[in-house]
């Protein structure tokens, strides 16, 4: 399940980025690239649009200008996750299904964004959620399938630990 989740996220992330950037007729220039033209698509008015952006940093553009370090961190994270998985498999039965899926989502998401950092010098984002309050849009930073998979994975792992802690307290 780990491999299935990781490969599914990676494939869906890369395919969706290519498809959306083509759909929006994104025209970019430079290295790293910057968007000079696109056709933003409204999916749900006043809530959800397809809008291409390049993220040169991490969360919401933080650490912009440090793409090299973010690439190194991504490679290190993938190596640590692979090592942890191999160590757990050698000890006996693999991790429980939920942990395997969560780790697969995490690896697939990291790999999808790492691909973009290496290939483009920036991560391609295209999902734009926002709400309009008193005529002013409150916009969540654009993201992609890889980002969503990473967030879901972290949420699943945190939820597992919370539930596990409650069960251990009841037993004790």
- Rounded to two decimals, the pTM is 0.83
The residues with which 28 forms a beta bridge, in sequence order, are 35
Q: Is 145 left (phi over 0), alpha (psi -120 to 50) or beta?
A: alpha
Give the confidence band of 65 by pLDDT, cuts at 50, 70, 90.
Answer: low
Q: Could you report the per-residue pLDDT of 144-165, keeping only the tens digit for each?
A: 999 999 999 999 999 988 988 7
Q: Could you report the per-residue pLDDT of 133-146, keeping only the tens digit for each?
A: 998 989 999 999 99
Question: Which of the residues are catalytic?
Answer: 125, 147
What average pLDDT does the segment 56-77 reach? 71
Of 49, 52, 30, nearest to 41 by C-alpha is 49
Across the chain, what does the average pLDDT equal? 88
Dihedrals phi, psi of 30, to nearest 5 degrees: 90, 170
């Amino acid at each position: 399940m780990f491999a299935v989740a990781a490969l599914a996220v990676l494939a869906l992330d890369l395919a969706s980025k290519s498809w959306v950037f083509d759909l929006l007729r994104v025209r970019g220039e430079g290295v790293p690239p910057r968007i000079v033209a696109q056709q933003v698509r409204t999916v749900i008015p006043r809530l959800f649009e397809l809008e291409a952006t390049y993220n040169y940093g991490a969360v919401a553009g933080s650490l912009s200008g440090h793409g090299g370090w973010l690439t190194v961190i991504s490679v290190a994270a993938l190596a640590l996750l692979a090592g942890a998985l191999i160590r757990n498999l050698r000890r006996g039965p693999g991790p429980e299904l939920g942990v395997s899926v969560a780790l697969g989502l995490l690896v697939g998401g990291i790999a999808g964004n790492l691909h973009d950092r290496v290939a483009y010098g920036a991560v391609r984002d295209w999902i734009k959620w926002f709400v309009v309050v008193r005529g002013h849009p409150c916009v969540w930073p654009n993201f992609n399938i890889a980002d969503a998979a990473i967030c879901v994975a972290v949420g699943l792992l945190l939820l597992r630990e919370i539930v596990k802690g409650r069960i251990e307290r009841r037993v004790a």
